[in-house]
Amino acid sequence: MCLKMRLASRFCPLVFLSFLSFASVAEAQHKDSDFGVWGSVTLKKQFVGGFSGSLNCEIRSDSNVSNIALWWINPELKYKFNDYFTAEIGYRYSNVDRSDYYEQAHRWYTGGTAGVDWGPFRLTWRELIEQIYYTDRPEGSSGRVVSYLRTRLGIKLNVENMPIDPYFDVENFFHISDYRAGEVGIMRYTAGLRIPFGGGMHTLNIYYRYQQYFTSSPDDHILGLGYVLSL
């Protein structure tokens, strides 16, 4: 077995065991938690030059999968400058559960991702600025407009002829507006597998995510299922 495959065989269980151990410790420190399933479908298209576009639809459940918490439609445009940097811009139209009705929300975001290969691994660093506008809240009220700086660090295996692409990332949501400006709002820890098939035209994404809130809200344990069609 080549060196890269040996590293791959060791990396997968190590990441998942470390991640689950962390989630167990984090769970012990928080008295409340919830479980949900997030499902998504994404269409991708490569345009001329380094431009590409996508359309993503996602639905999320909470309350131990008994309630639809959120669903959205999200068009996005990316430009790949080179193998080391990609810029993105997007808009998301969401419906957010408010117990007796769904509130519409608009989200705009822009950012960039830097990446570098390190042996059999791909290391990435993404910075994203987003603003969310909630339509049913009074003008000027707290929480009507929420802005985040999102920082995500990721690592994935990049081994040729490997049938799966395991990955792990950590993301921080930092408030940059409203009464919580300067505070960390959410931390996400995600471990998953991307499974390409059909010559790379189709991809399944299966992941486990632990989402930690720095408020009274219960933390989340999430099973994610995604499908990507590359046109």
CATH number of the CATH domain containing 83: 2.40.160.40
Residue type, 185: G
**pLDDT of 65:** 94
Residue 102 contacts by C-beta under 8 Å, 6 or more apart in sequence?
95, 96
DSSP tag of 65 = T
How far, in whole angstroms, is CA 62 from its chain's centroid? 17
Q: For residues 173 and 200, is the Cβ–Cβ distance under 8 A?
A: no
pTM given for the model: 0.84
Domains contained in the chain, number: 1
Residue 130 contacts by C-beta under 8 Å, 6 or more apart in sequence?
107, 108, 109, 147, 148, 150
Q: For residues 157 and 165, is the Cβ–Cβ distance under 8 A?
A: yes
- What is the extent of the structural domain holding 38? 3-230
Q: For residues 100 and 70, is the Cβ–Cβ distance under 8 A?
A: no
CA distance 173 to 34: 19
Which segments of the chain have a pLDDT < 70?
1-31
